[in-house]
Structures are given as structure tokens and as C-alpha cells.
């Protein structure tokens, strides 16, 4: 059983973390390039937020928003 867990540790440390080790060593020379993955995630989140806001504005302009406060029985 110990060999199984050592195999899993070897898989992650020796193979799957190689790109992250590269980014960690790259941070000493260029912080912006080392955090490129973070910049991509921030751009995706910003695009999703802009899309969501535009959709909300579109629904409000078409009066499709349902704002009845008696939608639930406990509001009566």
C-alpha cells in the first residue's frame, strides 16, 4: 500500500508539477509571464461579467424581468 501512495506522489512531483515548477523558476525573471495563467483567468472572468451585465440590461430593456414580490407564499 505504501508503494501505491509513493507512486501517486511520484506521478505528481515528477511529472504533473513540471509546468508549475517552470513557472515558479520563471517568476525570478518576469513576474508578468509567470502569472500568465492568472491573467487568462482574470480575462475570462471579466468577459463573463461583462456578458452577464449586458444580458441583465437587455432583459430590463425588454421588461422581461419578473419582480413580483408575491412569488413565494411566505411573502403574502
The total of structural domains in the chain comes to 1
Under-70 pLDDT residues of the chain: 67-76
Any domain includes 18: yes
Query: What's the pTM?
Result: 0.58
Any domain includes 74: no
Look up the domain containing 25 and give its range: 2-64
Is the Cα torsion angle 43, 44, 46, 47 positive or negative in sign? Answer: positive
Report the pLDDT value the prediction gives residue 15, as an integer from 0 to 100. Answer: 92
Report the pLDDT value the prediction gives residue 68, as an integer from 0 to 100. Answer: 66
Q: Grid coordinates standing for 5?
A: 501512495
Q: Which residues contact 50 (CB under 8 A, 6 or more apart)?
A: none
Any domain includes 6: yes
Report the pLDDT value the prediction gives residue 73, as an integer from 0 to 100. Answer: 65
Report the pLDDT value the prediction gives residue 43, as an integer from 0 to 100. Answer: 98
Amino acid at each position: 500500500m505504501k508503494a501505491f501512495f509513493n507512486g501517486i506522489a511520484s506521478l505528481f512531483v515528477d511529472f504533473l508539477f513540471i509546468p508549475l515548477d517552470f513557472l515558479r523558476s520563471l517568476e525570478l525573471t518576469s513576474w508578468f509571464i509567470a502569472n500568465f495563467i492568472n491573467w487568462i483567468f482574470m480575462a475570462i472572468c471579466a468577459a463573463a461579467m461583462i456578458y452577464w451585465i449586458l444580458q441583465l440590461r437587455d432583459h430590463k430593456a425588454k421588461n422581461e424581468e419578473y419582480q413580483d414580490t408575491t412569488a413565494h407564499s411566505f411573502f403574502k
